[in-house]
Structure 1
Amino acid sequence: MNVEDHPSHLVVQPADGIPPVVATPRGLDEAMRRLEGADGPLALDTERASGFRYHDNAYLVQMRRGDEPAVLLDPVAFDGEAMAELQSVIGRQEWVLHAATQDLPSLHALGLSPAALFDTELGARLLNLPHVGLGGLLDDLFGIHLKKEHSAADWSRRPLPEEWLAYAALDVEYLVELRDEVERLLTDQGKLEIARQEFAAEMDFEPRQKPGEPWRRTSGITAARTPRQLRIVRELWNERDALARQRDLSPHRLIPDRAIMAAATNAVRNEHELLALREFNGRGAHSELRHWWAAVQRARASQEPISVRVPHEGVPHHRSWVRQHPEADQRLRTARSALIEIAEAHDLPVENLLQPRVLRELAWETSEPIDAAEVATRLAELGARPWQTELTAAPIAEAFREAASA
């Protein structure tokens, strides 16, 4: 496929029409037969219900291989045994995903994992292309326009509308052709081995758990200035989270963060005054009022010590380094300048040359000058790939020495 073969145009339907949703054992058997009999890599995508459901589960899995039409699988309709059968069929192929880290956790939760991976979005980033989203890439490389209008929809809805199914099928319609073009460009730029290392590193991706107390990330929490107010924020956040988990709803669909902050910063005397607050709204504001008021009462009755200042775990936020940890800040700034030069020389985004988190951890913990071999060892321990270590270990060591003598 190339731009000349496909002049710029809008595509709203898959070439083979909208495939039916596979939701029966017979349908799954037929789908696996077609996928197993086809040739080449497997294009794959998922649709979730983020913002609607508590868990980030896949509610639709789209697959396409060779010249076969897309398979739209409803994973909710099948148990683990059925997914194990599917894994036995598709687990031997290279999977082609776009922004694989968005889909792999929900696929792993279904018991599905690839033998090899090609991530077209990550490949486009390594190419330093101006647009890396699926729609932008297809437009730039093939002149194909897709309407990306249902990605934030509630995919747990049943039945799924026809236009949503068309959108879902199109997400895998051109993915293998896009894979081949991205691979060609990576080869031309001498970055194919870099990409292979990055794809391999993504294979077992799971989201990093943020340290600390999650309730402290409530939007607007800086308005809570006393221990009493913070206890109310904590109790309401925990109550909301427990209800949301139990009912598989997005917490913010019960009450938004602004409702929690309004309850914490206003001296309401009863549940009626709580509900009367302008900000206290949301799907569960009225229906779960007894839970919210009980949480406020628990918080007010508690004498448990609570820190007004956010307790830090691990490496402090790097924005505080310039005042509180100037030597670490100097190491970070000097090393980052060196990495920017390397990234520009190799036409790479600096964040792909080396994860900012890795550089920050290394700059924080390195109080004495270390040589390139020591930097390389620590980079590997922090998750850097061999190609990243090869390009950055010596310049980082030199930057740290420069920072120490400044």
Structure 2
Amino acid sequence: MNKKNYIMIKDNSALKELVDHLLKENIIAVDTESNGLHAYQERICLVQISTKTKNYIVDPFEADDLSPLGKILESKKTEKVFHSGEYDLICLWRDYGFRFNNLFDTMIAAKLVGNNKLGLGGVVEEELKIHIPKKFQKSDWGQRPLPDEMLDYAMTDTLYLIRLRDILKKKLELAGLLPLAAEEFDMLSTPLEIAHPTSEDIFWKLSRSTSLSRRGNSVIWKLILMRDAEARRRDRPLFKIFSDKLILSIAEELPTKREELASLKGMGRYNMQNYSGRILSIVKSKIDPVPKKEKFNPPSNPGFRYRLDKLQRWRIRAARKAKLSSEFIMPRQLMYDFAESPPLDPEDLKRKMERFPYRYEKYVSEWGFPLIKSLEKVGEKLIKE
């Protein structure tokens, strides 16, 4: 695209005017850029929006009240087009509490119609014969000012989405898959919260990956806390301080001299200059208590794992028959719900699938009910045993 082929929105009044304009549109394209690879606490750094004729970039660092955007995202009248929008929606919900209606995802559509490449660049190239560079994919979108070249790149993420949507929607209609796509888009409207691992979670993961002494486990815990404090202070993600692998290596080798520490893979010159003293002090320090994980309690429903396995096998077979990816036969969460509490009868099955009428009619009511009914018997047998 040509430079400056977009309007920058840098204050709250301009954003309000933009939303008033967007509410008159029947379709817009939306994308976001975040700084998760460069900051301790990720946040949205840009929101890109395209209509059929104009392009906009909203800077949340300048227009700091994004609440008006909630009106357009929640609007049932205006269709919002994303590409692989699940994480964008999670971030918009996490940072601003927005709700969503009337979505279309070009990545999901491309997957349903059998495109070979599913990244935005691949789909644009396959459908529109346009090449999109990937130069700034991992850039720090939290830096200010942002170079014009980065802003141009960001704008390409929505520039072609409405055209893509039109092409892919026609393909979905021809394949008879538009109702299935609609169910997928509806699921997107309720983003799932991503639980980031706590320091305790990281400790339990590392400590059970190898057999360590009490001192080794104490070193792991202290290094995790040190890294977290340093990441907060420098506003950097944990992995940019030092890696989990390095923490584990230090706990296994327990180096007490600088040359021993320097020999470990991943220490590097910067870490040696800035952290070697603290790391060696931690290794030599007294053994401290470490977090204790609550004892694992197996599921109260003894047939759950057996039912889940049967459902997974059925879903794979049904997907092969339909020539679709397995998640399009039965969503993962619904499969888990059925494994936990199987439908009692055909009416109960239909009721539990009321959000998925296409799947119910096309796959489950015909192919799946004998299987789902048998799941209850598996559970009963296990309970008796």
User: Would you call these one fold, judging by a TM-score over 0.5?
Assistant: yes
How far apart, CA to CA, are the structure 2 residues paired with 1:401 and 1:85? 49
How far apart, CA to CA, are the structure 1 residues paired with 2:272 and 2:48? 36
**1:72 is the counterpart of 2:57:** yes
SS in 2 for 1:137: helix
Which of 98, 109, 125 aligns to 2:83? It is 98
C-alpha distance 331-27 of structure 1, shift in aligned 2 (>3 A): closer
Q: By how many angstroms is 1:73 displaced?
A: 1.4
- 1:172 — aligned with what? 158
Q: By how many angstroms is 1:260 displaced?
A: 0.8
- 1:43 — aligned with what? 29
Residues 190-236 of structure 1: per-residue CA shift (max 9 Å, x gap): 22222222212211203343789421476796345334322322332
Which runs of structure 2 are paired with 1:235-274 in the superposition (5 Å)? 235-269=222-256, 274=261
How far apart, CA to CA, are the structure 2 residues paired with 1:67 and 1:135? 21
**1:107 is the counterpart of 2:62:** no
Which of 308, 330, 333 aligns to 1:354? It is 330
Q: By how many angstroms is 1:103 displaced?
A: 0.3
What is the root-mean-square deviation in Å for CA atoms of aligned residues? 3.8
- 1:228 — aligned with what? 215
Q: By how many angstroms is 1:133 displaced?
A: 1.7
How far apart, CA to CA, are the structure 2 residues paired with 1:90 and 1:328? 38
**1:192 is the counterpart of 2:167:** no
TM-score (norm 2): 0.79
Which of 118, 121, 133 aligns to 1:132? It is 118
How far apart, CA to CA, are the structure 2 residues paired with 1:152 and 1:48? 10
**1:83 is the counterpart of 2:66:** yes
Q: By how many angstroms is 1:67 displaced?
A: 0.9
- 1:341 — aligned with what? 317
- 1:376 — aligned with what? 349
How many matched pairs? 371
One-letter amino acid matched to 1:340? I
How far apart, CA to CA, are the structure 1 residues paired with 2:144 and 2:216? 41
How far apart, CA to CA, are the structure 2 residues paired with 1:100 and 1:314? 35
Q: Percent identity?
A: 24
How far apart, CA to CA, are the structure 2 residues paired with 1:23 and 1:149? 25
Which runs of structure 2 are paired with 1:53-64 in the superposition (5 Å)? 53-64=39-50
**1:120 is the counterpart of 2:106:** yes
C-alpha distance 205-330 of structure 1, shift in aligned 2 (>3 A): closer
How far apart, CA to CA, are the structure 1 residues paired with 2:142 and 2:193? 22
Unpaired segments ≥5 residues, structure 2: none
C-alpha distance 288-20 of structure 1, shift in aligned 2 (>3 A): farther
C-alpha distance 360-28 of structure 1, shift in aligned 2 (>3 A): closer
